[in-house]
Structure 1
């Protein structure tokens, strides 16, 4: 995992639930078939109603119609990101779509744990309401080691809450990979 994550932002509002992240009708694809796995990326965030997305243009799709991966690598969201059901497919779908990090005011506990336990994406928290100042398409740079996010488009830097041991678990590829790496299990 790189110590710098840089790319375009996709901005969402508050209370984005797991059915908005990956709608239930798209939970039918095989997790072991590479061609079907790509569909999780294609349909990531396809359940977010335009009115709730908090996007200035109001109709910016997360993944273009002809693609399986998003041009946006950092999600900026309000509080309670990942609420709803406990589906592990939600952070997986975001990872398949190319998301490297999510920066939110807060997370639903099970979604946060699924991000970390599966080693899918880095779930950063911030006390700032970044979804009020960052715009979809802004170029962002996260300094993973120093817990900062810089909006390169607007030339503003914000502090992120430290990840602690979470970073090492995500870097390892999930809780089981981390446990093997640290000789905590065979």
Structure 2
């Protein structure tokens, strides 16, 4: 059932037949993520994602910095989907933010807009799919709701309400993220020679 709230949702009805619990980053794999969502607001900066004092490779410190997204004592989040507002990932240019989210089990962020450097870092590291939408989903969804983000059909489904929301296509960034980042993509496509 489509949401009646946004008037721009005039697509024909779709049903997601098969969903995955995680994204399989093999070439040609469907970009479908199902799981609980973690809802944020506007201007989530990289210091909120991973404060500077926790810029380390010790995962336990990342967990302490992300107590709301990753519960204390755990290494992984229960939220593979993050819902943001405008300007998600603003602040510094550190690529640690998408890396920390990906290491914690995050798969996709859906937001109205991104800081361009965060968007680029998601693609370059291959850690997260940064999906954009014209809709203010942070006002529609609640933390803990079960959702499916279908990047093939460009639709997000809220399983608690049955509402669906249009997403923008991931475009040329998709194959780079699928490959595991810019260097893996360059190796796969022959842009960088690999030793035999």
The superposition leaves residues 95-114 of structure 1 with CA deviations (integer Å, 9 ceiling, x where unpaired) of 01110000000000000000
Mapped partners of 1:173, 1:75: distance in 2 = 19
Using the TM superposition, give the Cα deviation of residue 41 of structure 1 relative to its aligned residue in structure 2, in angstroms: 4.7
The runs of at least 4 consecutive aligned structure 1 residues that moved more than 2 Å come to 38-41, 43-46
In structure 2, the CA distance between the partners of 1:44 and 1:74, relative to structure 1 (3 Å rule), is farther
Mapped partners of 2:61, 2:183: distance in 1 = 23
Structure 1 vs Structure 2 CA RMSD? 1.3
**1:15–1:81 Cα contact (<8 Å) kept:** yes
Q: Which residue of 1 aligns with 2:6?
A: none
Q: Which has the higher helix share?
A: 1
Gaps in structure 1 of 5+ consecutive residues: 31-35, 47-60
Mapped partners of 1:147, 1:85: distance in 2 = 29
The farther-off stretch of 110-119 and 138-147 is: 138-147
Rg comparison, structure with higher value:
2
In structure 2, the CA distance between the partners of 1:106 and 1:95, relative to structure 1 (3 Å rule), is same
**TM-score between both structures, scaled by the size of structure 2:** 0.81
* Aligned mate of 2:139, from 107, 127, 132: 132
Q: Which residue of 1 aligns with 2:189?
A: 182
Mapped partners of 2:129, 2:65: distance in 1 = 16
Q: Which residue of 2 aligns with 1:97?
A: 104
| Structure 1 segment 4-153 matched on structure 2, within 5 A | 4-27=32-55, 29-30=56-57, 36=58, 38-39=59-60, 41-43=62-64, 45-46=66-67, 61-153=68-160
In structure 2, the CA distance between the partners of 1:69 and 1:41, relative to structure 1 (3 Å rule), is farther
Mapped partners of 1:106, 1:146: distance in 2 = 20
State how many pairs are aligned.
165
Gaps in structure 2 of 5+ consecutive residues: 1-23
